[in-house]
A and B are shown apart, each in its own frame.
Chain A
Amino acid sequence: MSNQASAATETIDLLLEHYLALLDEYTTLRGTLNTVQADIFHSLARANFSAERGIRYYGQDYYDERMQAIRRIQIGPKDGKAEAEAEGKGDTDPGANRPVFTVRTYPPSASGSEPDTVSRTSDGSGSGTESKEAEKSVPDADAKSGGVNPSATDDSSGSVDEKQKKEQGQEKGEEPGPTSEEEQKPRPKDKPTDPLRWFGILTPLALRQAQGHAIKAVEEIIPRLATLNVEMAAIEVEVRRARKRRAKAEKAEEKRVAELADQMGHVDVSA
């Protein structure tokens, strides 16, 4: 066998070794997905069995027609760094260019601090600090802000006071303080609702368990299976190419041997 053919065989062996490892992972994950899917169906069946009166079947009749995905795919290079992908700084390893599927919750930032800050501005202490700032900035406001107790229960006077403070801030062209900025911010958009809420407020435990199993399938198993699928398909292409190269090298080798034999025959005749 020629050097080229043996090198191609070696490459094929390496690729097949990797391919079989991926196949093993694929079949294992398939088994896990089957178990998780069975758990989902079991939980759904239990939920339907224990459904409250009025609920016929936990199914498409209750789907929200304006649903928004709260779990979305992110497809990136193998190392999973979106920045590197954007700048085209891939690894030198050819396998690094193969896409990897990951499932992320959407919207990406939970922004748990936002509601806190909003609530902080609406409480008494927040308006107290604002009134102090207003005192410093505009003397006219002294009487009003000084007169109004931060802990006053009169809502209307408080709101008028806040409006005036905003106007004062705008007139002065000062950079608004963190609290006023938060006030000016539009209210956070309505987050996509939890699909469990489509089926009512008090959903049975079994339905929540079904959701838990489904999240496991969607977040852990399905993206990995999709990644393996793409990776295996890429290796299949590489193996076929390597086999073609090997066949070509073998053909060339056979041709060369035949030519040599021909030449040797001529030598015999002339001798």
Chain B
Amino acid sequence: MLVRIKYRKTSAGRFMSHLDLLRTIERIFRRAGLPMAFSEGFNPHPKVSFGSALAVGITSDAEYLDVELREEFPLDQLRERLDVAVPSGIEIMEIRQLQTRTRSLTAQINMARYRVYVPLAEKMEASELEQLIQKAMVQPTFIVTRDGKKGKRQVDIKNGIYKLEGRLDEDYIILQIDVQTGSEGNIRPEEVVEMLRKTGDLYLREGLQIHRLGLYVREEAAIKTPLEI
């Protein structure tokens, strides 16, 4: 059977790299007594696929993975068994059975929503913040430099920022942002903060905290979660 699982990454979970996670998922299923399907060939590996990768250090409320099992299980039993098999820092939120193998999660997911805590070094008024966000968002382009395998690259991120909202909480700006993610382009929340910093000549302190609120499939008509499609 094929299932899609939504899970959270908290505390220690956020420090797990993609490779750590891959190994851990296999162990979770084995502990839960849920036999995973393996690929054929010389070096078989479990059939798991992940949604968009999450950088080490970021917590998340909504990560997704698809897993194929060799046997059928009722969903509530699946849930029960997984709950005791996950390590602290990973929490199962929801499980849905997929009837047929659809497009992979990475091919479907194209938008991410983040909450970002930006520590300010100087005081700021709510109206200033509002103006700053407006000013940043009306710019036609914003170029960032990324380190790639073939050296530095210039990328325009502006088109990939779908939504940017912010409010002040003492000496923090709390941002909520919707950005493009997935195979078509991936915008990092730090880059959006950089855009604000440059546009408004902000002075920031160290200690940016990023939290992923969700991953979505954004289409003309609507924004859906990977469990809704």
Answer yes or no: are A and B bound together in one complex: no
**A residues adjacent to B (C-beta < 8 A):** none
**B residues adjacent to A (C-beta < 8 A):** none
